[in-house]
Amino acid sequence: MSNVTRRSFFGLGLKVSVVGAAALGLGACAKQPAASSTACADASNLNASEQSLRASFKYVEQSADPAKVCGGCEFFTADASGSACGDCKILTGAANSLGYCTSWAARAAALPA
Ligand code: SF4
């Protein structure tokens, strides 16, 4: 094998390694949820009735008003593990603590004991 052939061989190997590493890196990123993803309920896992209910109440995963979020709503039950995803009594399913729908009602203040 001449020097030129060996250089070409190793040069090609380096290119293949760089491309392979990039492909692996992209593959690893593809498995990560997007940083902006806050979906608590995957729409593809909801039946037609559940989707219709969310649509009729105009549920969104991210409220436009920080003062009106599911986490402050009377109908929201926070997740015990601290996840942003809790449950909504109105939607009868998952809701994002930062979400909102038109049935939002301020959580009642705890009564003094
Ligand atoms: S009723 Fe609406 S605002 Fe209240 S927790 Fe459920 S989805 Fe969120």
Residue among 75, 77, 85, 98 whose CB has most ligand 1 atoms within 8 A, to mutate: 75
Q: 97 and 44, same structural domain?
A: yes
Average pLDDT across each block of 10 residues of the chain; the chain has 113 residues. List them in order: 52 42 35 49 89 96 97 97 95 96 93 74
Q: 64 and 81, same structural domain?
A: yes
- Amino acid 4: pLDDT: 53
The CATH number of residue 81's host domain is 4.10.490.10
104 Cβ inside 6 Å of ligand 1: yes
Whether residue 65 contacts residue 100, with contact meaning beta carbons closer than 8 Å, is answered with yes
- Amino acid 6: pLDDT: 56
pTM: 0.66
- Amino acid 17: pLDDT: 42
Number of residues written out for the chain: 113
When divided into structural domains, the chain yields a total of 2
Q: 95 and 69, same structural domain?
A: yes
Cα torsion angle, 14, 15, 18, 19, sign = negative
41 Cβ inside 6 Å of ligand 1: no
Question: CB under 8 Å to 101, separation ≥6 — which residues?
Answer: 54, 57, 58, 59, 60, 70, 88, 90, 91, 95
Q: What whole-number distance in Å separates Cα of residue 46 and Cα of residue 84?
A: 19
Measure 104 CA to ligand 1 centroid, in angstroms.
5
Q: 2 and 48, same structural domain?
A: no
Nearest CA to ligand 1 atom 2: 101
Q: 105 and 60, same structural domain?
A: yes
Domain that holds residue 66: 36-113
